[in-house]
């Protein structure tokens, strides 16, 4: 039986369902603690005996490093290190997508107070300030007012270290809603629309907001196809914003949660993931 490592910081809701679905489909999926791998030796004892590695670390810093080290040991990794690196750096992702003529939001890269002031001068309010590196919607802040923006940026400048000081400023596009597309391999397994529940401006799936199933029209399918062409096959959560000019790709999550999306879908997401794992390891 094929044996796949599920590398994560813990076994959560999604991981339990993936392990169960694997068992029902003749695949062994075993949790491996992402903080106890000690990778680096060429043979990678912690991972070398698996037929593949699926990375679901919630840490936004561990995924890319573990994938790099696992690939160096010639173990197939989902997602690839290249895909994870592209996803975890929101600037890299936008550059890649834009180069492939995919629609992305306008943005400014903010590395300093001067950049931040210039971004505020170039783009009209309301704006979104978000870290280049990070996940689950954390530190994604809406700037409605110019006169408080600088005091919010104080936190980036005073408390941010290293990569934490890298931010994007972008127009506020989603009008309170976004579409999350769950992809396994090349297949769009499910898609759902998220809308802010009112208490928080963010419509992020991680924040427990209201959601409903959305039809997978040809526009969404075409975008998803093109994103997979850029990143390679894998397991992705692709977040879209709907704008008057059509959808734009906001982010791609390389270790996507799917609990909320699963509620809206008739499709069985864990089974779709497991089938893709079987394909990869066969």
Of 25-64, binders to its own copies (CB under 8 A) are 33-42, 60-62
Residue-wise DSSP of 203-243 = --GGGT-EEEE----HHHHHHHHHHHHHH-SEEEEEEEEEE
Nearest to 202 by CA among 178, 226, 232, 234: 178
CB atoms under 10 Å from CB of 17, counted, come to 19
In whole angstroms, how close is the CB of 46 to its own copies at the nearest point? 9
CB of 86 to its own copies, least distance (A): 10
Candidate ranges 16-24, 126-134, 254-262, 270-278; the one touching its own copies (CB under 8 A)? 126-134
Considering only residues 69 to 108 of the shown chain, the ones binding its own copies according to CB under 8 A are 69, 71-72, 81, 85, 89, 91-92, 94-95, 98-99, 106-108
Positions 203 through 222 that interact with its own copies (CB under 8 A) = none
Tokens of 236: 């992705």
Sites for its own copies among residues 236-255 (CB under 8 A): none
When asked if residue 225 is in the footprint of its own copies (CB under 8 A), the reply is no
Pick 12 or 176: Cβ nearer its own copies: 176
Instruction: Give CA–CA dist 104/263, Å, rounded.
Output: 28
How many chain residues are in contact with its own copies, going by CB under 8 A?
A: 77
Applying CB under 8 A, the span of 19-27, 114-122, 227-235, 242-250 interacting with its own copies comes to: 114-122
Token pair recorded at residue 52:
């593949």
Residue 17 Cβ vs its own copies, minimum distance, rounded to whole Å: 26
What pairs with residue 31 in β-bridges? 6
Smallest gap from Cβ 21 to its own copies, in A, equals 28
Min CB(20)–its own copies separation in Å: 27
Q: Considering the complex, state which of residue 27 and residue 93 has its C-beta at the smaller distance from its own copies.
A: 93
Q: Which is nearer to its own copies, 1 or 36 (CB)?
A: 36
Rounded (to 5) percent helix, strand, coil in the chain: 35, 25, 35
198, 215 in Cβ contact below 8 A? no
Q: Nearest approach, Cβ of 170 to its own copies (angstroms)?
A: 8
Q: Show the tokens assigned to 132.
A: 């280049």
Cβ nearer to its own copies, comparing 1 with 114: 114
Q: For the residues of 35-82, what is the DSSP string, one character each?
A: TS----STT-TTTTTSSEEEE--S-TTHHHHHHHHHHHTT--EES-HH
Q: Is residue 124 packed enough to be buried (19+ CB in 10 Å), middle (13-18) or exposed (0-12)?
A: exposed
CB closer to its own copies, 6 vs 119: 119
What is the footprint of its own copies within residues 137-176 (CB under 8 A)? 137-142, 144-148, 150-152, 154-156, 158-166, 168
Which residue number, 185 or 251, has a Cβ lying nearer to its own copies?
251
């Amino acid at each position: 039986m094929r044996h796949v490592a599920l590398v994560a910081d813990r076994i959560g809701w999604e991981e339990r369902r993936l392990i169960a679905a694997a068992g029902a489909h003749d695949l062994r999926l075993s949790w491996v603690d992402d903080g106890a791998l000690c990778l680096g030796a060429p043979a990678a004892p912690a991972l070398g005996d698996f037929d593949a590695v699926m990375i679901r670390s919630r840490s936004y810093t561990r995924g890319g490093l573990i994938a790099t080290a696992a690939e160096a040991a010639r173990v197939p990794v989902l997602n690839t290190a290249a895909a994870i690196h592209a996803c975890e750096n929101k600037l890299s992702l936008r550059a890649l997508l834009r180069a492939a003529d995919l629609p992305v939001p306008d943005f400014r890269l903010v590395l300093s107070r001067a950049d931040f002031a210039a971004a505020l001068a170039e783009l009209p309010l309301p704006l979104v300030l978000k870290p280049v590196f990070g996940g689950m919607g954390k530190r994604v802040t809406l700037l409605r007012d110019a006169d408080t923006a600088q005091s919010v940026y104080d936190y980036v400048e005073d408390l941010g270290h290293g990569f934490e000081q890298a931010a994007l400023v972008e127009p506020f596009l989603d009008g309170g809603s976004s579409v999350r597309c769950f992809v396994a391999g090349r297949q769009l397994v499910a898609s759902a629309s998220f809308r802010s529940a009112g208490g928080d401006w963010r419509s992020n799936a991680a924040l427990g907001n209201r959601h409903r199933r959305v039809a997978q029209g040809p526009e969404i399918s075409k975008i998803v196809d093109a994103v997979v062409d850029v990143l390679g096959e894998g397991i992705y959560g692709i977040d879209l914003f709907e704008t008057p000019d059509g959808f734009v790709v906001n982010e791609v999550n390389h270790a996507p949660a799917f609990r909320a999306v699963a509620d809206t879908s008739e499709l069985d997401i864990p089974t779709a993931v497991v089938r893709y794992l079987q394909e990869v390891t066969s």
